């Protein structure tokens, strides 16, 4: 089955796999620790020294961005993340979230720029390298994607998501045996099927996307992203005149 997945995945020329990005729930590497800023109350702001306000403002913008992101208001979320970065250029979580959101909006060059800025600050960070590699994949820069995902794996050898993303890159380059080995090292049959389903969904083949989302759920019954994607396909299919939209799921 894995060989079938790899071979089939390589036939798709333009593929968007939003599942490849690392979760946006990442450590907040900034001048302020998450444990500090989430506890700030409005009543306390009046007593804060003005010199500290840029940091609090950055954290507040980031929190607002996270809320807007969860609500699906992507442009508003992006604006908030960028304001957080303007206040604190070393705000790694805001840079990472900006990159993830830009991939969801199809702004791959901007995503690449955000991840590169974050990596400049924390070069030995596997999830940032993975996310940059994934952005390269989305932008069609396969050699760059392969190199960056390799960097992620060198930093964190058992990084399953990076191995899965690398498998997709290798398949698209026609390196089927290496791709299969990467899928095996990822040890994530559910993710492999999920990624393939995302390929088909982006290509407008919702029938095949639905099939592979269901396969992913067989391997991992509690797979929220696959459940949401499958539900969205079934919901739109039941509405006359509705076409399936490309979605940023994971």
Residue pLDDT, tens place only, 129-150: 999 999 999 899 999 999 999 9
**Crossing angle of helices 160-172/126-138, nearest 10°?**
20
Chain centroid offset of residue 228 CA: 16
Tokens linked to 124? 């030995």
Instruction: For residues 5 and 185, give the distance between their C-alpha atoms in angstroms, rounded to a whole number.
Output: 15
Residues 6+ apart with CB under 8 A from 185: 160, 163
Phi, psi for residue 62 in degrees, rounded to 5: -65, -45
Q: What is the pLDDT of residue 24?
A: 39
Indicate the SS3 state at residue 174: coil
Q: What is the pLDDT of residues 159-184, one digit of tens each?
A: 988 998 998 898 788 787 787 688 77
What gap in Å lies between CA 62 and CA 85, rounded to an integer? 9
pLDDT, tens digit, 9 for 90 and up, residues 17-57: 333 444 334 433 333 333 222 233 444 434 445 444 444 68
Structural domains of the chain sorted by starting position, each given as residue range(s) with its CATH number in brackets? 2-18+27-187 (1.25.40.10)
Q: Is the pLDDT of residue 199 over 70?
A: no
Among 217, 181, 170, smallest CA distance to 9 is for: 170
């Amino acid at each position: 089955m894995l060989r079938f997945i790899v071979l089939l995945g390589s036939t798709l020329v333009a593929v968007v796999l939003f599942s490849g990005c690392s979760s946006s729930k990442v450590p907040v590497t900034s001048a302020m620790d998450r444990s500090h800023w989430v506890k700030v109350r409005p009543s306390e702001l009046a007593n804060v020294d003005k010199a500290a306000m840029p940091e609090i403002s950055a954290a507040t913008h980031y929190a607002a961005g996270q809320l807007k992101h969860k609500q699906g208001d992507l442009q508003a979320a992006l604006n908030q993340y960028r304001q957080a970065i303007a206040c604190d250029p070393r705000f790694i979580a805001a840079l990472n979230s900006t990159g993830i959101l830009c991939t969801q909006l199809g702004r791959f060059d901007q995503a690449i720029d955000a991840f590169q800025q974050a990596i400049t600050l924390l070069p030995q960070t596997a999830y940032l390298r993975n996310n940059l590699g994934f952005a390269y994949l989305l932008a069609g820069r396969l050699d760059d994607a392969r190199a960056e995902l390799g960097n992620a794996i060198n930093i964190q050898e058992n990084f399953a998501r990076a191995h899965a993303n690398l498998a997709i890159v290798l398949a698209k380059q026609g390196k089927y045996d290496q791709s299969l080995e990467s899928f095996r090292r990822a040890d994530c049959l559910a993710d492999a099927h999920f990624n393939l389903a995302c390929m088909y969904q982006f290509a407008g083949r919702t029938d095949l996307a639905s099939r592979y989302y269901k396969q992913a759920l067989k391997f991992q019954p509690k797979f929220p992203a696959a459940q949401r994607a499958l539900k969205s396909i079934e919901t739109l299919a039941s509405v006359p005149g509705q076409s399936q939209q490309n979605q940023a799921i994971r």
